[in-house]
Amino acid sequence: MWYYEKKLQYPVKVTECNPRLAKYLIEQYGGADGELSAALRYLNQRYSIPDKVIGLLTDIGTEEFAHLEMIATMIYKLTKDATPEQMKAAGLGAHYANHDNALFYHNAAGSPWTATYIQAKGDPIADLYEDIAAEEKARATYQWIINMSDDPCLNDSLKFLREREVVHSQRFREAVEILKFEKDRKQFF
């Protein structure tokens, strides 16, 4: 069960009217390594992972929904007042034809989100390694978007999200350490 707090995890401020950025940001919304994939991946894997790391997957999966909400806010703010001409000029003509200015779960190239983006192999190490890879890929995606964006306020929120990916990756790596720990083995340093 969840409680909803009616505020964003980190403020989202957009200064420039630049719908083109929305086209790139949608990758983190409905893309393979986006926040939706992350949330659904972790919240599903947690049922068949050893007890010691279930809570970690619940916590991180929940936070990913908070990130999804931030990305949605960014995309919404960047496109809500865009005219059809501006959408077209921003490369969002196909999006407009299909969705008007509504948000939709697809990637930057327009492919709709699919469950094939995520996996639950049932093997704890395989699943956690996938999660680590997902965090690093999301971190890289944020880097590429920051590199293309010159909106300092938007970048501020993106840098926060990127840092969270670093922390999540760290926690998943620690989860692997917990699961592979051998208690009778001598520790050498």
Partner 1 sequence: MYTPIKCYQPYHGPFDPCPPRGTVCYQTPPNLYLGFQPPNLQQFPIQEALYKGTLWPVLYDPYPTPLEKGAKR
Tell me if residue 106 is catalytic: no
By CB under 8 A, name the one of 85, 100, 150, 174 that touches partner 1: 174
Tell me if residue 130 is catalytic: no
Tell me if residue 64 is catalytic: yes
Taking the C-alpha atoms of residue 149 and residue 133, their distance in angstroms, rounded to an integer, is 24
Write out the two tokens for 10. 């980190």
164 is an interface residue for partner 1 by CB under 8 A: yes
167 is an interface residue for partner 1 by CB under 8 A: yes
3-state secondary structure of 112: strand
- Smallest distance from the beta carbon of 155 to partner 1, in angstroms? 9
- Smallest distance from the beta carbon of 46 to partner 1, in angstroms? 21
163 is an interface residue for partner 1 by CB under 8 A: yes
Query: For the residues of 160-189, what is the DSSP string, one character each?
Result: HHHHHHHHHHHHHHHHHHHHH--TTSPP--
169 is an interface residue for partner 1 by CB under 8 A: yes
150 is an interface residue for partner 1 by CB under 8 A: no
Q: Which of 63, 67, 106, 130 is catalytic?
A: 67
81 is in an annotated binding site: no
**Which residues pair with residue 25 across a beta bridge?**
none
**In Å, what is the CA distance from 23 to each residue of 29, 69, 183?**
10, 16, 50
146 is an interface residue for partner 1 by CB under 8 A: yes
Taking the C-alpha atoms of residue 40 and residue 73, their distance in angstroms, rounded to an integer, is 19
By CB under 8 A, name the one of 8, 10, 76, 110 that touches partner 1: 10
Q: Which residues of 146-181 are buried (b: 16+ CB within 10 A; e: fewer)?
A: beebebeebbebbebbbebbeebbebbeebbeeeee
User: For the chain, what percentages of helix, strand and coil (3-state, to nearest 5) are there?
Assistant: 65, 0, 35
- Smallest distance from the beta carbon of 104 to partner 1, in angstroms? 28
- Smallest distance from the beta carbon of 181 to partner 1, in angstroms? 9
Other CB atoms within 10 Å distance of the CB of residue 80: 12
Binding-site residue set for Ca(2+): 59
Query: Which residues are part of the catalytic machinery?
Result: 35, 64, 67, 135, 165, 168
**Binding interface with partner 1 (CB under 8 A):** 10, 139-140, 142-143, 146-147, 159-164, 166-167, 169-170, 173-174, 177
